[in-house]
Amino acid sequence: MVPLLLVLLLALILFGAGFALKALWWIAVIVLVLWLLGFVVRPAGSGGRRGRWYRW
Protein backbone atom coordinates (compact mmCIF):
# COMPACT_ATOMS: atom_id res chain seq x y z
CA MET A 1 0.00 0.00 0.00
CA VAL A 2 2.82 2.44 0.87
CA PRO A 3 4.71 1.92 -2.44
CA LEU A 4 1.48 2.59 -4.36
CA LEU A 5 0.96 5.83 -2.44
CA LEU A 6 4.56 6.86 -3.09
CA VAL A 7 4.17 6.22 -6.82
CA LEU A 8 0.92 8.20 -6.92
CA LEU A 9 2.55 11.04 -4.98
CA LEU A 10 5.51 11.06 -7.36
CA ALA A 11 3.19 11.12 -10.37
CA LEU A 12 1.24 14.02 -8.86
CA ILE A 13 4.45 15.98 -8.19
CA LEU A 14 5.78 15.36 -11.69
CA PHE A 15 2.42 16.33 -13.25
CA GLY A 16 2.36 19.56 -11.23
CA ALA A 17 5.95 20.39 -12.16
CA GLY A 18 5.26 19.72 -15.83
CA PHE A 19 2.21 21.98 -15.79
CA ALA A 20 4.15 24.73 -13.99
CA LEU A 21 7.04 24.52 -16.45
CA LYS A 22 4.67 24.69 -19.42
CA ALA A 23 2.95 27.72 -17.90
CA LEU A 24 6.34 29.38 -17.29
CA TRP A 25 7.32 28.77 -20.92
CA TRP A 26 4.14 30.51 -22.11
CA ILE A 27 4.78 33.44 -19.76
CA ALA A 28 8.38 33.69 -21.02
CA VAL A 29 7.20 33.72 -24.65
CA ILE A 30 4.65 36.46 -23.92
CA VAL A 31 7.25 38.59 -22.13
CA LEU A 32 9.70 38.10 -25.00
CA VAL A 33 7.10 39.22 -27.56
CA LEU A 34 6.25 42.30 -25.49
CA TRP A 35 9.94 43.10 -25.10
CA LEU A 36 10.55 42.81 -28.85
CA LEU A 37 7.49 44.95 -29.57
CA GLY A 38 9.02 47.59 -27.32
CA PHE A 39 11.82 48.03 -29.84
CA VAL A 40 9.42 48.34 -32.77
CA VAL A 41 6.73 50.51 -31.19
CA ARG A 42 8.41 53.24 -29.17
CA PRO A 43 6.08 55.90 -27.84
CA ALA A 44 7.09 59.55 -28.10
CA GLY A 45 9.04 60.74 -25.10
CA SER A 46 9.24 64.21 -23.58
CA GLY A 47 10.12 67.01 -25.96
CA GLY A 48 8.85 65.19 -29.04
CA ARG A 49 11.79 62.81 -29.23
CA ARG A 50 11.18 59.11 -29.29
CA GLY A 51 11.88 57.29 -26.03
CA ARG A 52 11.81 53.81 -24.61
CA TRP A 53 8.63 52.29 -23.27
CA TYR A 54 10.52 50.72 -20.37
CA ARG A 55 12.49 52.43 -17.62
CA TRP A 56 15.73 50.42 -17.54
pLDDT digits (tens, 9 = 90+) for 2-53: 888 898 898 888 888 888 888 888 999 999 998 888 777 765 554 445 555 5
Break the chain into its structural domains and give their ranges: 2-42
Q: Examine the pLDDT at 56 and tell me if it is beyond 60.
A: no
Measured between its terminal Cα atoms, the distance across the chain in Å is 56
Cβ proximity of 52 and 38 under 8 Å = yes
* CA 48/CA 18 separation, integer angstroms: 47
* CA 45/CA 53 separation, integer angstroms: 9
Cβ proximity of 42 and 54 under 8 Å = no
